[in-house]
Amino acid sequence: MAKITYIEHNGTEHVVEVETGLTVMEGARDNDIPGIEADCGGACACSTCHVYVVEEWVDKIPAKDEMESDMLDFAFEPDPRTSRLTCQIKVNDTLDGLVVRMPSKQI
């Protein structure tokens, strides 16, 4: 399990424990975290689970693959360094303490 902090655009924080093997998106969905819509259900076919990974975590999570990078082109105000799709980040013990911020809207 990993404790993950989801921060809404308005600053509201949600700290939840997410089971190993799930994605960061599934952790948000299972804990009713607002701001992550996940319209495609985790298939990396939309950008509605877009977040900004806080700077201290960017280099600690696995790199984006080409499909995720392409999908981020459709996200609202993507940042080349910190933007990620939560459906593509698999939870494991090394992610304990991960912090992500939601954009002001999802497209």
The verdict on residue 105 lying in a domain is no
The verdict on residue 106 lying in a domain is no
The HSE-up count of residue 87 (CA atoms within 13 Å, CB side) is 20
Mean pLDDT of 78-94: 97
The verdict on residue 92 lying in a domain is yes
Q: Please name the residues in contact with 90: beta carbons below 8 A apart, sequence gap of 6 or more.
A: 21, 22, 23, 62
Q: What pLDDT does residue 83 have?
A: 98
The verdict on residue 69 lying in a domain is yes
Q: What pLDDT does residue 20 have?
A: 98
Judge contact between 87 and 44, C-beta under 8 A. Answer: yes
Please state the pTM of the whole predicted model. 0.95
Confidence at 85, pLDDT banded by 50, 70, 90: very high
Q: Which domain holds residue 38?
A: 2-99
Q: How many domains does the chain have?
A: 1
Q: What is the CATH number of the domain that holds 87?
A: 3.10.20.30
Confidence at 107, pLDDT banded by 50, 70, 90: confident
Helix (H) / strand (E) element for 16: namely strand 13-18
The verdict on residue 36 lying in a domain is yes
The verdict on residue 75 lying in a domain is yes
Give tens-digit pLDDT for 7-66. 999 999 999 999 999 999 999 999 999 999 999 999 999 999 999 999 999 999 999 999
Q: What pLDDT does residue 105 have?
A: 94
